[in-house]
Structure 1
Amino acid sequence: MSDLEGISRYINDRISSVQRILYFSLAEVPHNKMKQLEQELDALERLLLEFEKSLVQQKDQLSQLKALEDLYQNNLENLQHLKDNVPAHMPHKCPQKENEPITTQNQAPDVEITQQETVKIKIKNHSKEIPFITLAEFECIPQYMKGRVTYEQINTAVQNINTAVVAKYKIVHQPVKTLNNHARKLHQRFKEQETKDTKGQYFVVEDDFREFTQMKLGKQLQGILNMLRHCQRLRELRGGGYTRYVLS
């Protein structure tokens, strides 16, 4: 039998057969009928034993399926949680393309090649970027330092700082003769801001935020910069009227 209904019907037929034999056994039953009764009872007993064995196997399979269902449900809930909580900012590297023109906030692409220049100058990306703050790091920042700043806001600031660093050092590492007037003035300003303590270091100042990003300078930004110092993404160097935010 392939299903429980069929098995049940078969067992009921066997029981009915035994009952008929027992009914007729009230009269004097020939020996051959008694032997048939014993055979029917033996067959019914074997069938019940097989049925009990099959039932135990089905219970084991049902238990395994229930465990798989629970595991599937747990994984589904975890995936949904991940989907609902994917950070807006993920660690990544976005190398600048060679020969890509530089654009500042108020300036068109600023690379000018002289008419006598016949060989394309390849500009490599020598800048450095700071990693985004992880959720674990953010939760470890003291509450008095975080204030009302959210996880998204601090990583948006990280993204803007990286934008400023990449734009600044793309100009710094270009030959001056390939820059237009505005970029040359920026190049000169960047060099003037360097000191012996910043040699080989990458840093930005507030003017760079104004030039290359839409960041609003103010108390909240200062708080975020303090948090980035706490997380060892930045350190400060002061002097010459500038506060330099050096990438760690």
Structure 2
Amino acid sequence: MASSDLEQLCSYINEKISNIKNTLSLRNCGQEPVLKTLLNKIGDEIIVVNELLNKLELEIEYQEQTSSALKELCESLGKDYKDAQHLKENIPPHLPPVTESKNLDQGSEVKPDEPVEAVEPAPINKPRKEQRNIKEMPFITSDEFNGVPGYMKSRLTYCQINDVIKEINKAVACKYKILHQPKKSLSSVARNLYHRFMEEEIKDTKGHYFIVEADIKEFTALKVDKRFHVILNILRHCKRLSEVRGGRITRYVIT
């Protein structure tokens, strides 16, 4: 948020507060029918100020998170730069020199008195197994949060919803890490989970990443309560997931 925008917002809030102070001085006269309309306007002004303060608090939290992330990134880049500088200044002297190979097929002659150095074949690197990328649910933006109806988000904040998204991504990663491993390498506990995952797979979820409430309880510390289901409704509204039901199980598919 630019400083000019913040100053305008503060000026607007101060103006509203001043209006409220002036009108509250007439509160004792509120019993008169003529002044009841004025008191109703005061109530509306208070609601507007409260909404503005809530938006300002959410914006401040978002800016603090952004600042913290940028600070961590700066520290990480600074460390990488120091490591690269140290490597540059301390190149090992025992590195083998680069030698030019002679092409014998083009008629180059080898003198009999010169020893021919045996060239060791370069080691053949085995191709790495292709790593599967596990799909993650993107965090919601402040604009998306502001577009959620008030009755749906109740008193939930922008940060609380994204914290739940982080835990859902954690559950998805843990589940599909087990599914992507060779079955013989799994422990007995992981093998039991593997069988449950396969039993929960149905035709409508083929090729999609999904979790169920049991995965939330298994891999996260989230409570599957009324508040959790309210957040799931918000995520459906923001098109972050969809529900597939079958066999008395609700599957939350990452979209």
For this structure pair, what is the TM-score category when the shorter chain's length is used for normalisation?
0.5 to 0.7
Greater relative contact order structure (CA < 8 Å, 6+ sep) = 1
Aligned with residue 172 of structure 2, among 165, 172, 179: 165
Q: By how many angstroms is 1:124 displaced?
A: 2.8
Q: Percent identity?
A: 50
> What's the counterpart of residue 142 of structure 1?
149
In the TM superposition, what are the counterparts of 1:1-248 in structure 2 within 5 Å? 85-86=62-63, 88=65, 124-248=131-255
Q: By how many angstroms is 1:122 displaced?
A: 5.9
> Structure 1 residues 84 and 163 mapped into 2: Cα distance closer, same or farther (>3 Å)?
closer
Q: How many residues align?
A: 147
Tell me if structure 2 keeps the 8 A contact 1:201–1:246.
yes
In 2: Cα distance, 1:218 partner to 1:84 partner: 25
Q: By how many angstroms is 1:85 displaced?
A: 3.8
> What's the counterpart of residue 91 of structure 2?
none
Instruction: Name the TM-score, length of structure 2 as normaliser.
Output: 0.52
> Structure 1 residues 135 and 235 mapped into 2: Cα distance closer, same or farther (>3 Å)?
same
In 1: Cα distance, 2:65 partner to 2:139 partner: 10
| Aligned-pair Cα RMSD in Å | 3.0
Partner of 2:63: helix, strand, or coil? coil
> Structure 1 residues 85 and 237 mapped into 2: Cα distance closer, same or farther (>3 Å)?
closer
> Structure 1 residues 138 and 76 mapped into 2: Cα distance closer, same or farther (>3 Å)?
closer
Could you tell me which amino acid in structure 2 is paired with residue 229 of structure 1? R
> Structure 1 residues 87 and 130 mapped into 2: Cα distance closer, same or farther (>3 Å)?
farther
Q: By how many angstroms is 1:126 displaced?
A: 3.0
In 2: Cα distance, 1:181 partner to 1:206 partner: 22
In 2: Cα distance, 1:173 partner to 1:208 partner: 16
Q: By how many angstroms is 1:148 displaced?
A: 1.3
- 1:139-177 Cα distance to aligned partner (Å, 9 max, x none): 000011101111111000000000000110010111110
Could you tell me which amino acid in structure 1 is paired with residue 220 of structure 2? T
Q: Tell me which structure has the larger Cα radius of gyration.
A: 1
Partner of 1:217: helix, strand, or coil? coil
Could you tell me which amino acid in structure 2 is paired with residue 230 of structure 1? H
Instruction: Name the TM-score, length of structure 1 as normaliser.
Output: 0.53
Q: By how many angstroms is 1:83 displaced?
A: 7.6
> What's the counterpart of residue 111 of structure 2?
none
4+ residue segments displaced more than 6 Å: 81-84
Partner of 1:235: helix, strand, or coil? strand
